[in-house]
Amino acid sequence: MGPRCQYYHPVGTPDGYFTAALQKENRLTMGECPIRGDCGIVHRTCETDEVLRVLANARRREIVSVLEALDDNWITVDELARAVSTTGDEWRGELHHVHLPMLRDLGIVDYDRHGETVRYYRCDLVSSVLEAVDAEVPTTQ
């Protein structure tokens, strides 16, 4: 796939100083969470409300779950489409025109439509939301 650590945040440093600087200056608020590349470099931050809105959709949660399981944070669109349980041309159109653009807008993916590749950026908040949603809720009888 693609080379590791190629992305460099314009105001960050390769050692991750960007996050520490934001926290020190209190610019990283309680509702924000850093989104990191595979080398720990802060890509951007996201808001709790944005994450909850985007992950409210079951298909997007499934897509992100597949991305979370990646070893190298890169996947082709074809591999992603095959890994997600839904199939068909309509689904592939949704993936291209709805779901991947929303995940890109959130900042957790870079999506190259021409190269047909997706790069995933990790966010602890996204992981926590997925874990909470996937947790088995006890039923009352």
Domain holding 87, by residue range, is: 17-130
CATH number of the domain where residue 74 is located = 1.10.10.10
Residue 119 neighbours by CB under 8 Å, 6+ apart: 2, 73, 74, 109, 110, 111
Q: What is the pLDDT of residues 18-75, one digit of tens each?
A: 444 444 443 555 677 878 776 777 778 888 899 999 999 999 999 999 999 998 889 9
- Residue 138 located in a structural domain: no
**In terms of residues, how long is the chain?**
141
- Residue 12 located in a structural domain: no
**CB-based burial label for 7 (10 Å; 0-12, 13-18, 19+):** middle
Does the global pTM surpass 0.75?
Answer: no
